[in-house]
Amino acid sequence: MKTLLLNSEDVHHNARMPELIRAIEDAFAAYERGDAQMPPKSYIDLPQYNGDFRSMPAYLEAKEWDAAGIKWVNVHTDNPGDHDLPTVMGTMIYSDPETAFPLAIMDGTELTMQRTGAAAAVATDHLAVEDATSMGIVGAGVQSYTQLRAISEVRPIEEVVVSDLDEERVARFLDTFEEEFDIRAGSIEETASCDVLSTVTPVESPIVPREAVGDHTHINAMGADAEGKHELADEVLLDAKLVIDDYEQTTHSGEINVPYNAGVLDDDDIYGQIGEIVVGKKDGRTADDGITVFDSTGLAIQDVAAAHVVYEHADENDNGYPFDLLGLGK
């Protein structure tokens, strides 16, 4: 009865993307069926440190497994300059639902990156055209890597166009994938014309114009995670089949939060939640669809589902460091 400590490398190694995608899809389905508990994300604001803490607990029951856990994550914007630490750090506690025993404590930052990519892949699988071969990415930061790796699991991606103001980040991204894809740097307009587009930036003024978006492009809007953030022009959202992950979170802090709270968008403009599509209550892409958008804010059930995959593989592979956290001596 020992707790497994898993660092970022352990999480990365054991987050098998095909299984992760299936687990995230299971989580969306459980949430839609009512087989999940996910209290609202809670915040502790620390203005004296220019930061905050966020807690994200959840439990979900999939058809063949159940899982529980909580992610404790921060955003401290002064960390890189003042303390040589990341702005965002996360810790995931993964527990046995039957006994509450803490099975694992793992790096939540890598876990977040992996599950965010997997969530985009689930949405892409249901909403993108079947023969999507081109992918655009706006923002070449850490999230962009898992977007490409995950989405290429569900669509035969061949051509990739990436856009970012930081040329060094673009160069690193190209170096990573140049042997796997026909990949190049391009403008935002070029990325938006691809079959699939993922936006992973923290901007507060829209950078993807309506006229640039392809007639049948599927967009994963992943960057907005706080009030005021907004990547896509309002006209894109108004013209699209708009799918969200969670109503409360997206209207508060997702891609739609700015136009929704300004009255530009309303409930009638939201097609539905991704869970409704996963369980078959609503159709995914149909022959009549043009642009589709998935507004992803990131849910605690995704963290728990991802932790389940990581823990199961790490335990099988004897990865990580087992220790007697509770002092049970067993």
Active site residues: 71
Question: Would you say 177 and 201 are in contact if contact means Cβ atoms under 8 Å apart?
Answer: no
- What is the pairing mode between strands 182-185 and 159-163? parallel
Question: Would you say 92 and 70 are in contact if contact means Cβ atoms under 8 Å apart?
Answer: yes
Question: Which string of DSSP letters, residue by residue, matches 153-164?
Answer: HHS---EEEEE-
- DSSP-assigned letter for residue 238: H
- Taking the CB of residue 43, how many other CB atoms lie within 10 A of it? 11
- Taking the CB of residue 86, how many other CB atoms lie within 10 A of it? 13
- What is the pairing mode between strands 66-76 and 51-61? antiparallel
b/e per residue, 99-126, with b = 16+ CB within 10 A?
eeebbbbbbbbbbbbbbbbbbbbbbbbb
Residue 36 CA to residue 38 CA, distance in Å, equals 6
